[in-house]
Each structure stands twice: as C-alpha cells, then as structure tokens.
Amino acid sequence: RATPVPAIPAPERPSRPEPAGRVAIIFDDAGGSLEDLEVIIALRRPVTVAILPGLRHSKEVAARARAAGLEVFLHLPLEPEDPTKAMGPGGIAVSMSDAEIEASLRESLAGVPGVVGVNNHMGSRGTADPRVMRAVLRVVKEQNLLFVDSVTSPRSIAGALASEMRIPSASREVFLDNEDNAEAIRAQLRRALTLARRKGRAVAIGHASRLTAQVLAEMLGEFDRAGIAFVPASALAR
C-alpha cells in the first residue's frame, strides 16, 4: 500500500509593496477627438477622462474610454469671470434658475453615459456662487456621483459645499499644461509626483491632448521608480 504523499502547499505570492503615494490624473476637455483619446488609452494606466457635453464625439469617447477600463467624468462648463470666454454646450450660467441648472445638468449627464463623477470646466464665477453650486451638487448627489473641484478660482466654494452636502469630493492640486510645451508639462508632472510622495496623494488635471499624454508616457518609469501608483480620481475622493 503506497504511503500518501503530503500535499505541498502552493508557494505564497509575494505581496506587492504599498505604494509610496497615489496620483490621480484627470484628462479634461475630451469629446472633440477620438485620436487624442487613443494616446491616453495607450498609457495603460487607470487615469480619468473628463468629457465635455454636446461635442461631436462626446458619447463615442465616453464609450471607448469605458471599454478600455478608464473612469469617465462629465466636464461641466460653468460660467467664468471673463464674459468673452464661451462656455459651449451645456454651460451653466449664474443667471439660470435652480430648475434650469438642474435640467441642463441632467441633460448633459444623459449625453455622456456611464460617468462616475463631475468636475468643472472654467467656472471661476460659477464655483464661487453658493446657490449655483448647491443646484449643481443636488443633481450630483441625486445621481450618486462624486465631484472634483478643478479650482479655477481661489474663491471656489465647490469643494467645501460638496463636503457639507456629504458628497464624495476632491480638489485639484496641480495643473499640468497651463503652458503648452513639453518642458513645462514635465515640470508639473514632477510636482505632482513630489506631492504624492510627500502627502501620500495628489490630484492633477491636464488636457486630453496628444502632447500631455505623450509627456506622461515618457515619465511613467519615473513614477514607477518612485513607487507612485496611478489611481482613478474616485479613489482619492472622500
């Protein structure tokens, strides 16, 4: 009679070390180009794509981004201080009534299906107006979404109001491409990396452009070596 051979336990998989920090990158102003989205998808990192409502490819970009496993936001146009800047489709003006704001936002959300959150496009005037932001955030809460304040104005009350209304939220800490050149973008990405390492987390916003995505692609190794993990924006909302 053969002696039973004791089962050999499977070797334990080495546990992944905790990241030194986490960074969420939101690519804003998407919806106008499918080509620019492909460069973002090619990063193979869990970034967030924020899509403007009512653009030629808004729905298609949302579907393609989701199919690639990326998180999708509505990039909501809010009134800026500068009246010469056009908000584009779905813009929320401070002159609108609460009912108009809520109806407009619901329409914009219906046009960008599958979003998990909202962040503001422009909005230096709109985000400083408590009535306007309450109307916006009521819809955000009603649809179980989160809100990221792009902080286009130091007077923004959007983030504080979201917290008060118990809506998961975060605020932008780094703008990546106010200057549209590779060196400036690289410097801002390093700023986000340093912030994530120092604080454990950082939220950065850039445009859904080929240049910004390409500069990030060149720097992925730098983030990896520093132990900084990329996460969707929702992971840093609280």
- Is residue 40 in some structural domain? yes
Domain count, the chain: 1
**pTM of structure:** 0.91
Contact by Cβ (8 Å): 172, 148? yes
Asked if pLDDT for residue 166 goes beyond 80, the answer is: yes
For the stretch 94-103, pLDDT in tens is 999 999 999 9
The residue with tokens 């998407």 is 30
Question: Which residues constitute the domain of residue 220?
Answer: 21-236
DSSP-based three-state secondary structure for 212: helix
Asked if pLDDT for residue 200 goes beyond 70, the answer is: yes
Number of H helices, E strands in the chain: 7, 9
Contact by Cβ (8 Å): 121, 76? yes
The residue with tokens 């990405």 is 189
- Is residue 11 in some structural domain? no
pLDDT at 100: 98
Cα distances (angstroms) measured from residue 23 to each of 56, 165, 168, 180, 214: 30, 25, 17, 21, 17
Asked if pLDDT for residue 68 goes beyond 70, the answer is: yes
**What is the signed CA dihedral for 192, 28, 61, 134, rounded to 10 degrees?**
120
Span 17-27, average pLDDT? 93
pLDDT at 6: 57
Confidence of residue 7 (pLDDT cuts 50, 70, 90): low
CATH number at residue 74: 3.20.20.370
